[in-house]
Amino acid sequence: MPETKISADELRSFSQRVFEAAGVNSVDAEYATDVLIWASLRGVDTHGIRNLKRYYIDTAGGVGRRDGVISFDAELTIEHESATTAALNANGGLGLSVSVRAMNMAIEKARECGVGIVTVRNSTHFGPAGYFAHMAVPHDMLGFASTGYLFPHGQPKSVVPFGGLIPMLSTNPLAMACPADSGPAFVLDMSTSVVPVNRVEMLEELGRAIPAGWSLDANHQTTDNPDAVQKMEPLGGATAYGGHKGYGLAVAGWILTGLLSGAWRRDPAPDRVLGENTDTKHGFAQEGIGHSFAAVRLDHFGDPTMIKQGLDAMTRAFNESPTAPGFDRVLIPGQLEAETEIERQLNGIPLSDSTATDLRSLSSEFDVPLSIY
């Protein structure tokens, strides 16, 4: 069967019009769309346009995702601010666009002071963490982004702590980006679990088995059936292969996002606490998803051109190094995605059958034309 594809420009216009038809203002619709298209262009299909309907549009109606009902007209408010920092309250708003605004604030603070750090609480799913870290790259800055949630009573399809039986953490991704001079930017975007839940969901949609070691069933046994997944393993495994390191990174990420943002609090709004059990634990519960963003100016540490050329030299050193059996090249994080972006800009973005079905459904629901080839 021929592969279903859509041009990036067509998909961008369609997504923005759908967001606007669903009640998102034009600026936030543009922000949110850019996040999703960036992921789809770079081959990060788990966090791209496949999520438009189920993660964002449906969730605004209170169905679909478990990440909290999205309020498209919520106001982003400042709760604490200094010259270099800010703590924001998303008030249940669209995490995609909220996070663009927060990272823009971090970049502006870095422009003025050299560094900017901004947290957000009471937010919703923000898509690919790498997008927000990469926002700093055109400004000759390092970028950082992370998001996280803690389920103190446990929650299916979450991450088990090292040595534990109850899944208590979201996959708590961390991202960092560094600009290059002529080569690809360094863009690290990693979950602190073996894989994100989105990848399990995507393989389930495609009718494929998952590799052993990704996740566990209700009996705490490894499973290749995505429908049986109840527990995600921390990076390195639940009990072996350095899983304590992945677990430690997950908790560190949560400190930056859930704790520092003020999301983990004594007086959470009950309807913003996620999970099957919304009771407090030791007096605390998390109100919405927490995010953290940072930007750092390169010129506060030296000549930006020299730093960027140094990154190019590092990349070439890795690319020229001998490969292990089964590998064609040694790449840096973000390099394959940059190549994929070039290819997909030229030849279109591939869509799975389930994603194509979702987009056609949105086209019908909001009377927005769609041209898939």
What is the predicted pLDDT for the residue at 370?
Answer: 95
Q: How far are the Cα atoms of 42, 52, 129, 317, 369 from residue 60, in angstroms, in the given order? A: 26, 11, 21, 47, 22
Give the torsion through C-alpha atoms of 345, 370, 101, 258, to 10 deg. Answer: -100
- Percent composition of the chain: helix, strand, coil (DSSP 3-state, to 5): 40, 20, 40
Give this prediction's pTM: 0.95
- Contact call for residues 167 and 154 (beta carbons, < 8 A): yes
- Cα 191 from Cα 165, distance rounded (Å): 20
- Contact call for residues 233 and 244 (beta carbons, < 8 A): no
Residue 179 token pair: 């600009």
| 74-194+238-333 topology per CATH | Ribosomal Protein S8; Chain: A, domain 1 (3.30.1370)
Residue 135 token pair: 């926002």
- Cα 86 from Cα 114, distance rounded (Å): 15
What is the predicted pLDDT for the residue at 288?
Answer: 97
Question: What is the CATH class of 1-67+338-373?
Answer: mainly alpha
What is the predicted pLDDT for the residue at 86?
Answer: 98
- Cα 160 from Cα 218, distance rounded (Å): 12
With respect to CATH, is domain 199-232 assigned 1.10.1760? Answer: no
Domain parsing of the chain, residue ranges: 1-67+338-373, 74-194+238-333, 199-232
| Total Cβ atoms within 10 A of residue 59 | 22
- Cα 246 from Cα 243, distance rounded (Å): 5
pLDDT in tens, the chain (373 residues): 357 999 999 999 999 999 999 999 999 999 999 999 999 999 999 999 999 999 999 998 777 777 889 999 999 999 999 999 999 999 999 999 999 999 999 999 999 999 999 999 999 999 999 999 999 999 999 999 999 999 999 999 999 999 999 999 999 999 999 999 999 999 999 999 998 888 888 888 888 999 888 889 999 998 999 889 999 999 998 777 889 999 999 999 999 999 999 999 999 999 999 999 999 999 999 999 999 999 999 999 999 999 999 999 999 999 999 999 999 999 999 999 999 999 999 999 999 999 999 999 999 999 999 988 7
Q: What residue type is assigned to position 279 of the chain?
A: D
Helices 335-347 and 26-41: angle between axes, nearest 10 degrees: 110
| Total Cβ atoms within 10 A of residue 266 | 9
DSSP element (H, E) containing 117: strand 115-123
Note whether 74-194+238-333 and 199-232 share their fold: no
* Backbone region of residue 214 per phi and psi (left: phi > 0; alpha: psi in -120 to 50; beta: other values): alpha
What is the predicted pLDDT for the residue at 242?
Answer: 85
